[in-house]
């Protein structure tokens, strides 16, 4: 599963692990991605969305229809 959110577009960030001796090795900061199924009453079907935990809270606040409209406005497929 790719680590990017369909609603917010958040993707992994990159940085360094720094050890006690201060050696640096590369690492990835992944967003908290979840797959969640929502009922779309306007279309009469379920949609499975790949969302970050923050985006799930956004869907709870604005509603699934508005969230799907935002995803489609960004050029995403639902």
Instruction: Tell me the per-residue pLDDT of 10-31, one tens digit each, with 9 for 90 and over.
Output: 999 999 999 999 999 999 999 9
Query: Residue 1 in contact with residue 35, Cβ under 8 Å?
Result: yes
Q: Is the pLDDT of residue 1 over 80?
A: no
pTM of the entire predicted model: 0.85
Query: Residue 26 in contact with residue 34, Cβ under 8 Å?
Result: no
Q: Which residue has the tokens 């009469």?
A: 44
DSSP 5: -
Determine whether 25 is exposed, middle or buried from the number of CB atoms within 10 Å of its CB (0-12, 13-18, 19+): exposed
């Amino acid at each position: 599963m790719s680590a990017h959110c369909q609603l917010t577009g958040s993707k992994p960030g990159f940085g360094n692990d720094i050890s006690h001796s201060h050696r640096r090795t590369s690492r990835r900061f992944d967003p908290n991605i979840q797959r969640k199924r929502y009922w779309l009453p306007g279309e009469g079907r379920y949609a499975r969305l790949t969302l970050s935990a923050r985006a799930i809270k956004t869907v709870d606040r604005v509603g699934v229809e508005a969230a799907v409209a935002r995803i489609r406005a960004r050029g995403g497929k639902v």
